[in-house]
Amino acid sequence: MAPGDKLNQNDAGWILRRGEQQHAFDTATRSFPGNPRLESATGFDTYWYIWSLTNPQTQIAAAAH
């Protein structure tokens, strides 16, 4: 994301706000269409990180002492 970008969630999903422009997140392509300057982060680690942030059943394990 560029400096000044804002990511908001509404009932329809995620919206990237860049200045006066708004870009809705497309779940089919997992991207913000219409904004070619954004690049997807891909890879196994990225997939599980995003999944853990969006999965309502994610739990943080307590550190063992």
| The model's pTM | 0.50
| 24 strand-pairing partners | 15
Q: What is the mean pLDDT of residues 50-61?
A: 74
Q: How far is residue 31's CA from residue 26's CA, in Å, rounded to a whole number?
A: 6
Where does the pLDDT of residue 9 fall: very low under 50, low under 70, confident under 90, or very high at 90 and above?
confident
pLDDT at residue 10 in the model: 81
Q: How far is residue 1's CA from residue 65's CA, in Å, rounded to a whole number?
A: 38
Low-confidence winner among 13-27, 32-46, 48-62 (lowest mean pLDDT) = 32-46
pLDDT > 70: percent of the chain: 74
- Averaging pLDDT over each range in 13-17, 31-35, 59-63, which range is the top one? 13-17
What is the token pair recorded at 9? 């969630």
